[in-house]
Amino acid sequence: MNRQRAKQIASSPVMANVTYNGTPIYIQHVNEASDTARIYPLGQPENEQEVNLDSLLEQ
């Protein structure tokens, strides 16, 4: 996923269908300097992780 699209999704009030390794996720924040995103699986905010934007897929 490109940085700009990830930022749009993160700031949008509308939920986008994005997955990480096949798991639906929520994007909390995009780190432009490192091209990573702070994400967590839907319904599991305690399982936050930082991943490369390249590993995110919009369905």
**What pLDDT score was predicted for residue 31?**
97
pLDDT in tens, 1-57: 999 999 999 999 998 999 999 999 999 999 999 999 999 999 999 999 999 999 999
Strand partners, 54: none
How far from 57 is each of 5, 6, 20, 32, CA to CA, in Å? 11, 10, 7, 17
**What pLDDT score was predicted for residue 38?**
98
Return left, alpha or beta for 8; rule: phi > 0 is left, psi -120 to 50 is alpha, else beta: alpha
**What pLDDT score was predicted for residue 51?**
98
**How does DSSP assign the chain, residue by residue?**
--HHHHHHHHH-SSPP-EEETTEEEEEEEEETTTTEEEEEETT-GGG-EEEEGGGEEE-
